[in-house]
Amino acid sequence: MHTVATLFTPKEVEEFTGTAPETLRDWRRRKIFLGGVIPLPGGGWTGNPEDPALGVIARQTWAYREGDLIAIAVAKQLAATGVDLASALKIGGAIVINIKAWASGDPFYSQYRNPRFLIAWPATEGVIIQPVPIGELQFIRLEDLNRIPEFMGANALLVDLKKTSEKLPAALRELLKSGTEKESSDRVPRGPRGSRS
């Protein structure tokens, strides 16, 4: 039951995160948010609008997974504190499972609640945890904040995963608390076939 993904329409993304379909489209065009999928005619989905499996669909209707909603909501919180949007979306995407663990209360995800804090810093500074391109961010979760100087360079961002989950929009928190996701056959994107969001 925990592995079946529910797809949300762009309008539903707006209901859960406050992010308009036009904004999602703009983020995709600018390549700062790579979330979202396109349902395939024969079932399943793809994240590639040029996927040959799409066949002759003239206009693709984008759909979003629960993790995309979480990443967007977290990114909006971070951007409100001055983090640039591209970095905020990257951080939001990196901590989806941790935020879901705190917000849902589901014992299935309890292993992702600790450590409670995440620090992020530019890969050009501090300890390189894994190979990443220059300009990308490094992440590590810590329980003991006194260890932060061991990893970061001059600058870092500290994220309290529990408090971040508590600040999610109410509708999204309720969705996450409502238990495991419904089977994807229960929710199919309901937008018009020609919508481009």
| Predicted pLDDT at 148 | 82
**More reliable by pLDDT, 171 or 63:** 171
d(Cα 131, Cα 148) in Å, to the nearest integer? 20
Domain ranges, ordered by start, for the chain: 7-182
d(Cα 115, Cα 141) in Å, to the nearest integer? 6
Q: Is the pLDDT of residue 160 over 70?
A: yes
For range 112-132, the mean pLDDT = 75
d(Cα 33, Cα 80) in Å, to the nearest integer? 17
pLDDT digits 0-9 by tens, 66-107: 999 999 999 999 999 998 898 899 899 989 999 999 999 999
pLDDT digits 0-9 by tens, 25-40: 999 889 888 778 877 7
**More reliable by pLDDT, 43 or 196:** 43
| Predicted pLDDT at 143 | 81
% of residues, the chain, pLDDT over 70: 73
Q: CA torsion 44→48→53→55, rounded to 10°?
A: 120
Task: Provide the residue type at 162 as one letter.
Answer: K
Of 45, 73, 55, 39, give the one whose Cα is nearest residue 191. Answer: 39
| Predicted pLDDT at 60 | 66
Do residues 23 and 33 make contact, with C-beta atoms less than 8 angstroms apart?
no
Q: CA torsion 195→13→91→160, rounded to 10°?
A: 180
